[in-house]
A and B are shown apart, each in its own frame.
Chain A
Amino acid sequence: MSKIINVLLVGVGGQGTILASKILTHVAIAQGYEVKMSEIHGMAQRGGSVVTQVRMGKDVYSPVIEPGEADFIVAFEQLEAYRWAHFLKNDGVLIANTQKIAPLPVLIGAATYPEKILADLKERIERFIELDGLKLAIEAGNAKATNVVLMGVLSKFMQFPENSWQDALSAKVPAKLLELNKKAFSLGVDGAKIR
């Protein structure tokens, strides 16, 4: 536990990064880690790029993750995976939901959505996972469960016991949505393959 684990959750305002970070920190605290988490609220929430930083370990001081220091990046959207990729450690794991959400400059034709995102990421990053989390979430019963699908993927690469994730889901997800989210989580676990 002496090593600090850095997890970056990146996406677009409204994609559910906050619930995902709550599940993750619940697991880490239950496993005896000290946890720090940082989020920037305010203007960015209006459809802007959002990032949640989670750090866990024995003694964690700074709440902020710097470029080149993330052990895990969970990107809820392709372009955001691309935007934050340089925050990953050399041997880090990048999990990218292949969903695309065009930012306003693309919508109004002032910029284009990069086409080679997945190819570039695959080339640079050894431990790269891409999956259609949105599709799996719909399969589980609700598009909004994409965040939990992605936590399922992440759980495959972190050294936490399976039941600790199940406990976190029970603690953080409303009871009536628990079964759906458990299904979403397990679809994420099954979908977690490094290409």
Chain B
Amino acid sequence: MKTLMTGNEAIARGVYEYGVSVAAAYPGTPSTEILENIAKYPEVYSQWSPNEKVAMEVGIGAAIAGARSIVAMKMVGVNVAADPLFTVAYTGVRAGLVLISADDPGMHSSQNEQDNRLYAAFAKIPLLEPSNSQEAKDMVDLAMEISEAFDTPVMLRITTRIAHSQSLVDLKDPLEREVKTYERNPRKYVMLPGNGRARRLVVEERMQKLADYSETVAVNYMELKDQSIGIITSGISYQYVKEALPTASILKLGFTNPLPSGLIKEFAAKVGKLYVVEELEPYIESEVRRLGISVVGKELFPPYGELSVRMVAEKISGQPGITVAPAFETPIRPPVMCPGCPHRGMFYTLKQLKLVVSGDIGCYTLGAMAPLEAMDTTICMGASISAGLGMIKAHPEMAENLVAVIGDSTFLHSGITGLMDVVYNGGNLTTIILDNSITAMTGHQDNPSTGKNLMGQTAPQVDFAALCKALGVKRVTEVDPFDLATVREVIKTEVAASEPSVIIARRPCALIIKNTEKPLYVQDCTGCKMCIKLGCPALSFDQESKTAQVDQALCTGCGLCINVCKFNALRKAGEDNV
């Protein structure tokens, strides 16, 4: 039976079909739906981990213990998981271990554009690159086979267009799921330097065997047609090449570390002009050049952004592109904090207080957008607290007008160690934890503060106040983020305090609560526009009547705007209409 599936759904199906028993991940676009879909197969144990390093280690432990395991993350997550990854490449595994790296060329939803194929080369592990959903599923099987045959973790690298595009997939019945017995083997798994040096040699021998394997593996193959032009390609770029240049000869590479140097030489000898078509880094191209083969690649295609059918056609066949009508000039429609978001008021207050805001990843990064514009830096998961500490170490007087702002999931991911550092090194920093008890931006994944796990079971909830106190923070204050007057006073007090402090603002995500409030209405508006400064999508200013308007379909009745209106013009339904 053929079914339309995204690459992420297809990988989850592969996990189900090919005997995987343990799956772990931290959510991140474009990888999130892999685990969400695995969770639909109760045969597979699946979990959200607090961060990618933990997920990787859970997968490593399960694979060493004898279970086929899979770990999934977005490309920047692999930075977090790199430490265990580089060493499990030495120890190898007992049962298959596959790391899915979901890269984001074009940065649709990411803070950088790193090409994680380089990680596979750096960590010396095999690399697979599917070019559609069917291959994504099949490559879960192949990756597990390679992992077990060569005793190594394997990276399966997808990109946004593979992860989020749907194509037809042939479904199969699942294999029998079996977990091997655990076998103690300290020389292999205890990476003391002495053992590590021995395994280091194993890695080199393994890479040699994998190089031979790469020459013959079925996912590396030539499609010989018109031999005047030859294209070496992989992943989604293969699809662009097939459509742009239907008659060209192609060397399609599905197994890309180590690259098949013999096959590349053979292909190069058969074709006239040789090109490499790949997104981001000249990964394949560099290897072709190392082999002394003349090739055209990044002279034609940029090392950033996504490629396209038209770009490939224009650059290689020199076909002039079709004439396209110019785009109309349109105001942008940026993503926004939702109507009813309880944490909008925090950014409004931070802007009013003119504070420097060391920001973080998640929905709250939207606090950087107009009209709130209450954010000075956002680097990576967890950096708000530690970077904030760095700022006040550079300028001690900044402690009086600087806060670090972080969400619950991000704090649990990698904010805790930063806060420990603040306490340990006497940083007089104020940290604000915006707690909605869910990983919201990626689509509401449960985390250790939610009270539920991925398999749907009840789970203990992290007590943020107790945790911060245990780290040594003496000043911990909890506030209701809808109570703007209190929020403002607490921030002023804590920023002025001469020791580390934490403010916990707790309210659930507006998208997941059952809302019973009615939309607000406007009465006797003076047109001062204070409420418009909140940047709520349900509020607008009508130029004709010079009054604020409430969109009845969008307003959640949260009442945040009532806090900022000095004229009592915004009112809850049922309140006096006079």
A interface residues, Cβ below 8 angstroms from B: 12-13, 25, 29, 34-49, 60-64, 66-69, 79-80, 82-83, 85-86, 88, 102-114, 117, 120, 124
Contact = CB atoms under 8 A, between A and B. Distances in A.
Given A25-B4, A62-B239, A83-B328, 5 more contacts: A44-B335, A66-B308, A67-B324, A86-B325, A105-B332
B540 A64 contact: no
Interface stretch (B12-20, B157-165, B182-190, B199-207): B157-165
Contacts of B334: 48, 103-105
Interface residues of B, number: 58
B537 interface: yes
B336 A46 contact: yes
8 contacts: A35-B4, A36-B165, A41-B164, A42-B29, A48-B333, A68-B324, A85-B325, A109-B529
B371 interface: yes
A37 B164 CA distance: 8
Contact of B29 (A13, A41, A47): A41
B245 to A, nearest CB: 11
Nearest to B166: A37
Contact of B442 (A36, A42, A67, A80): A42
B532 A63 contact: no
Contacts of B441: 42-43, 46
Contacts of A88: 325
Contacts of B363: 46
Nearest to B365: A43
> Of A43, A103, A114, which is in contact with the most chain B CB atoms at under 10 Å from its CB?
A43
A86 B324 contact: yes
A112 B322 CA distance: 32
Interface in B225-245: 236, 239-240, 242-243
B309 A64 contact: yes
B168 interface: yes
A54 to B, nearest CB: 9
A38 B532 CA distance: 35
A46 B338 contact: yes
Given A35-B167, A37-B4, A47-B338, A42 B108 contact: yes
A38 B6 CA distance: 8
Nearest to B104: A42
Given A41-B30, A47-B338, A108-B370, A63 B333 contact: no
Nearest to B366: A46
A99 to B, nearest CB: 11
A43 B328 contact: no
A63 B164 CA distance: 10
A44 B333 CA distance: 9
A38 B325 contact: no
B4 A124 contact: no
A47 B239 contact: no
Contact of A108 (B29, B109, B243, B535): B535
A66 B327 contact: no
Nearest to B441: A43
B177 to A, nearest CB: 30
A138 to B, nearest CB: 12
B326 interface: yes
Contacts of B371: 108, 110
B532 A103 contact: no
Contacts of B2: 29
Contacts of B324: 67-68, 86
Contacts of A85: 325, 327-328
A134 to B, nearest CB: 10
Given A62-B243, A68-B325, A42 B109 contact: yes
Given A35-B4, A68-B325, A104 B537 contact: yes
A66 B309 contact: yes
Nearest to A90: B325
